Chains A and B, each alone.
Chain A
Amino acid sequence: GAVVSQHPSRVICKSGTSVKIECRSLDFQATTMFWYRQFPKQSLMLMATSNEGSKATYEQGVEKDKFLINHASLTLSTLTVTSAHPEDSSFYICSARGLAGVRNEQFFGPGTRLTVL
């Protein structure tokens, strides 16, 4: 099956620093990648959708200058949390979807736990 990886799996940083999270599709080309945020005991909330080579589309209420998304290749998308603050602490999950040949299914990464001190 299709595999999506995320790196790092866990990161702790000081308030005010920036953190980059990578999402890779390992064995398929991901034309679209999604970034989700999950708070404890809550569901996944879509933050943004990115298509390879174009700007990300952010959901309402998500600051695009705060959460920078880059989808430079068909196998890699990055999420950068800029000037992180404690309220940005969360579990971030990426998801990738390939071409129609894989039936438009989304495959999820293992998630990245961000803790901002």
Chain B
Amino acid sequence: AQSVAQPEDQVNVAEGNPLTVKCTYSVSGNPYLFWYVQYPNRGLQFLLKYITGDNLVKGSYGFEAEFNKSQTSFHLKKPSALVSDSALYFCAVRDTIKAAGNKLTFGGGTRVLVKP
């Protein structure tokens, strides 16, 4: 079964500092990996995805993530955080094997708080 772990419930960072949100995954086949951001009482907004190809993926709002197959990780990064980046971030994985049913599985979420 596929699973996603986000080991940190909350990440605090000062504005202008680098931001990293960690994610590790487990799948049987090859993974499709996604990051989403959620603001209060809103749905999920897509940030970026890894399907195949270059391990470094660049997404919206200056975010990027690096797919590391050996470490089964897909950490989200931003070189210089903004106060407006404060939100709830979800990592998600879809296993590509047929038995997985094409479902997205979400991590528990990491709350990011960027302080001015």
Which residues in A have some Cβ–Cβ distance to B below 8 Å?
1, 4, 6, 32, 34, 41-44, 46, 49, 91, 93, 95, 103-111, 113
Contacts and interface: CB of A to CB of B under 8 A. Distances in A.
Interface in B54-94: 90, 94
A32 B102 CA distance: 10
A79 B112 CA distance: 31
Nearest to B91: A43
Interface of B: 32, 36, 41-46, 49, 51, 90, 94, 101-109
A84 B37 CA distance: 29
B102 A104 contact: yes
Nearest to A38: B38
Chain A interface main SS type: strand
Contact of A44 (B42, B49, B94, B106): B106
A11 to B, nearest CB: 13
Nearest to B104: A106
A52 to B, nearest CB: 15
B76 to A, nearest CB: 16
A103 B51 contact: yes
Nearest to B51: A103
Contacts of A44: 44, 90, 106
A93 B44 contact: yes
A46 B42 contact: no
A72 B107 CA distance: 31
A43 B106 contact: yes
Contacts of A42: 108-109
A43 B43 contact: no
Nearest to B36: A108
